[in-house]
Amino acid sequence: MKYKITEHDDYKTYEFDFEGKKAYLYAPNKPKQNNPWILKTEYFWAFPNFQNTMLKNGWHLAYVENDTRWFCEADNKRRARLCEFIISEFSLNEKCVLEGMSCGGMQAVYFGAEYPQFVKGMYLDAPVMNLLSCPFGVGRSPFDSVEEFINATGLTLKDLINYRNHPIDRVEELIENNIPVFLVAGDSDTTVPYEENGALLAEKYKKAGAPITVVIKAGCEHHPHSLDDNTPIIEWAEKLYE
């Protein structure tokens, strides 16, 4: 594997081609014991405060580009092969923390359900859980991204009426594998409304007695993601490897 390596004060960046997609691994110069790491599923450079802090704390950070932000099996399988590769190549922990924001949250759920052997926990931020809600906006108005979604997935609104593979339909698999979740959402989100998305996940987890932490941001829209003070997420992630 050929890498473009960039040296920084506290870490190195490895940029490389992985199955025709750009991939990145940020490697701290002083990694933590057990080599914990984050795999961000989409929007790699968006709202990076949490991942940047974890990098400073000695965590590795990884990402591979997707065919679409709306999820396809090819992206899921490529991400699994990336996990196998970097775990072996860089001696990382066999399990990572998934970081998924918005559509990235949807991708994290699909990945965790399909490949729990790679997942220590999931930080989900305003995740898309219900495709009728986002992008189709049933009961409200569809978003500009509907055409993008249809082109990417081949699924129309008619197809989704009886669809049984929404992200929310895969939550039982997360619960069966006891995958902890840290869920963040805004209570005024009109893009991915909490009550139609994250709340459904939280309800299933709580009903099953599965490990979940929920932080709802009062008056917050879809953006900004993350928290003003990410200490609760950081502490949650660190405890997963104790």
Q: Sign of dihedral through CA atoms 122, 128, 129, 131?
A: negative
Mean pLDDT of 225-233: 97
Q: pLDDT digits over 16-47, tens only? A: 999 999 999 999 999 999 999 999 999 999 99
Strands (E), 187-231: 212-217
**4-130+171-239 classified as CATH 3.90.550.10:** no
The pLDDT value given to residue 65: 98
The pLDDT value given to residue 141: 74
% of residues, the chain, pLDDT over 70: 100
Length of the chain: 242
Q: Cα(76)–Cα(190) distance, rounded to whole angstroms?
A: 27
The pLDDT value given to residue 142: 72
Q: Cα(199)–Cα(196) distance, rounded to whole angstroms?
A: 7
The pLDDT value given to residue 13: 97
Instruction: Enumerate the domain spans of the chain.
Output: 4-130+171-239
Smallest Cα–Cα separation from 73: which of 40, 111, 16, 21? 111
What pTM did the predictor assign? Answer: 0.96
Average pLDDT taken over every residue of the chain: 96
The pLDDT value given to residue 139: 81
Q: pLDDT digits over 121-168, tens only? A: 999 999 999 999 999 999 887 777 899 999 999 999 999 989 999 999
Tokens, residue 14: 């490895």
The pLDDT value given to residue 144: 79
Q: Cα(182)–Cα(227) distance, rounded to whole angstroms?
A: 12
| 25, 61 Cβ separation under 8 angstroms | yes
